[in-house]
Amino acid sequence: MTNFRKKTIKDVDVSNKAILLRVDYNVQDDSGVLLDDLRLRESLPTIKYLIKNNAKVVICSHRGRPRGEFNPALSNLPVAKHLSQLLNQTVNFADNAFGDVTSKTISSMSFGDILLLENIRFYKGETENLDSFAEKLSEPFDLYVNDAFGASHREHASIAGITKYLPSVAGFLLEKEVSILENATKVPEKPLGIILGGAKISDKIRILENLIPNANTLCIGGAIANTFLLAQGYDVADSLVDESFIDAAINCIDLAKKSNVDLIIPDEVIVTVGQGAENLIRTVAVDQIPAGWRVLDVGPSTIAKFRHSLQDSKTLIWNGPMGMFEQEQFAKGSLEIAKMIGSLNVPTSVIGGGETAAIANIAKIKDQVTHISTGGGASLMLLKGDPLPGIESLMD
């Protein structure tokens, strides 16, 4: 078990302090009603700890990509209302993320109060990571707490820049996310099984290079499997492939052989032609993909093969869908993989990536797996073994 190498809120005195708590509340709403509050619920332990320990809690988050301009559709106001319900306590709202009026509001808060700032990405200084912006943002506060794992791969002012101006520690969610993902990748209980999917092989090659030497079984699906099939001489017809990564795929196949890793690629796929109308979908072996057709999901035989190869795993990591899961007729592979992971009873099962987490939630397996990560890009970077700016800038 690796130890979390940064200070957390338990390592510092938070009482009677004004605290800037950075979270990731990048959630969608429909007419002011949040569609998914997982990220809010995951932040509650940190907020409750700070309130219990008599701190002023000022919460900072982004929503969407407003590109430095005010956009009422991306306001944090509906988030403040929903968070009030979850905490059973009023969460006040500041129309501006910083400035004289907001500073006065913060200074007049009582300890134990909560304030949510307006969307931090309404200001260009945030994504440009301007020192002057980070310094101004830090002025009303005694301590900075990063609990925004899902944004910690960003070198933004409220993630990395602000740590130059305030003592900076991790919240409980950040600590949990990093500890679980680092343990699963660096010191896993073996056998370690990995399922990797998704559309872009460019995102996944470094994950493969990082994880193959530690793995026992590697199952590849999604569009990235097409490049591996092509590298092994299969004709994938009109399927999405990245020919510039064929050599990289061959290198991964060789690395798996050298590392004695069982590499499983699809032997049966779901293919379509035209616009995916019902009568133009077939299940075929990978050596029988018709000319002009394209692969959009893994077939039942592939899922069975994955299950058989992973059933003895003690640690299991899944990142990336098995097909074009946004369309119902090509979602079955991804949902079956989610249900399979839920049913295998693996001691440690970790699901990372935004799309993968969405599939796991649809499949309702949250209570059957160890951890579903709240961060897409951040969990990808950890799986690659890359440092995250939002974590590296915290106090050791």
- 300's CB contacts (< 8 A; 6+ apart) are 268, 283
Among residues 143, 174, 205, the one where a domain terminates is: 174
* Cβ neighbours, 10 Å, residue 3: 8
Query: Is residue 277 pLDDT above 80, yes or no?
Result: no
Q: Within a domain: residue 235?
A: yes
pLDDT for 114 equals: 98
Using DSSP's 3-state secondary structure scheme, residue 357 falls into: helix
Stretch 3-31: mean pLDDT: 94
Parallel/antiparallel/unpaired status of strands 281-285 and 268-272: antiparallel
Residue 354 known to be catalytic: yes
Using DSSP's 3-state secondary structure scheme, residue 148 falls into: coil
Query: Is residue 395 pLDDT above 60, yes or no?
Result: yes
H helix or E strand, kind and range, residue 33: strand 33-34
Per residue in 37-69, pLDDT (tens digit) is: 989 999 999 999 999 999 999 999 999 999 999
pLDDT for 84 equals: 97
Residue 204 known to be catalytic: no
Q: Within a domain: residue 22?
A: yes
Same domain, 170 and 200: no
Residue 72 is part of which domain span? 9-174
Catalytic residue among 112, 377, 384, 385: 377
Query: Is residue 108 pLDDT above 90, yes or no?
Result: yes
Catalytic residue among 22, 39, 136, 176: 39
Same domain, 218 and 362: yes
Per residue in 234-266, pLDDT (tens digit) is: 999 999 999 999 999 999 999 999 999 999 999
Stretch 292-299: mean pLDDT: 95
Parallel/antiparallel/unpaired status of strands 143-146 and 91-94: unpaired
Residue 39 known to be catalytic: yes
Q: Within a domain: residue 59?
A: yes
pLDDT for 54 equals: 97
Same domain, 210 and 286: yes
Same domain, 114 and 40: yes
Q: Say how far apart CA 263 and CA 85 lie, in whole Å.
A: 47
Same domain, 164 and 199: no
pLDDT for 265 equals: 97
| CATH value at residue 28 | 3.40.50.1260
Between these two residues, 337 and 357, which has the higher pLDDT value?
A: 337
Q: Within a domain: residue 396?
A: no
pLDDT for 276 equals: 53
Q: Say how far apart CA 120 and CA 117 lie, in whole Å.
A: 8
Catalytic residue among 7, 48, 81, 200: 200
pLDDT for 373 equals: 87
- 126-131-380 Cα angle (round to 5): 50
Q: Within a domain: residue 198?
A: yes
Whether the upstream peptide bond of residue 191 has omega within 30° of 0, thus cis, is: yes
Per residue in 65-92, pLDDT (tens digit) is: 999 999 999 999 999 999 999 999 999 9
Catalytic residue among 354, 366, 384, 385: 354
Our count of domains for the chain comes to: 2
Among residues 118, 149, 174, the one where a domain terminates is: 174
Q: Within a domain: residue 215?
A: yes
Same domain, 75 and 196: no
Same domain, 59 and 164: yes
Query: Is residue 364 pLDDT above 60, yes or no?
Result: yes
pLDDT confidence of 278, banded at 50, 70, 90?
A: low
Q: Within a domain: residue 4?
A: no
- CA nearest to 112, candidates 19, 42, 10: 19
Q: Say how far apart CA 179 and CA 386 lie, in whole Å.
A: 15
User: Can you read off the two tokens belonging to residue 193?
Assistant: 């099984």
Mean pLDDT of the chain: 94
Same domain, 346 and 202: yes
Q: Within a domain: residue 166?
A: yes
Entry pTM: 0.88
Stretch 312-320: mean pLDDT: 95
Residue 375 known to be catalytic: no
Same domain, 192 and 73: no
Same domain, 134 and 233: no
Among residues 151, 174, 197, the one where a domain terminates is: 174
Query: Is residue 1 pLDDT above 60, yes or no?
Result: no
Same domain, 198 and 323: yes
Query: Is residue 2 pLDDT above 60, yes or no?
Result: no
pLDDT for 337 equals: 96
Same domain, 158 and 197: no
pLDDT confidence of 279, banded at 50, 70, 90?
A: low
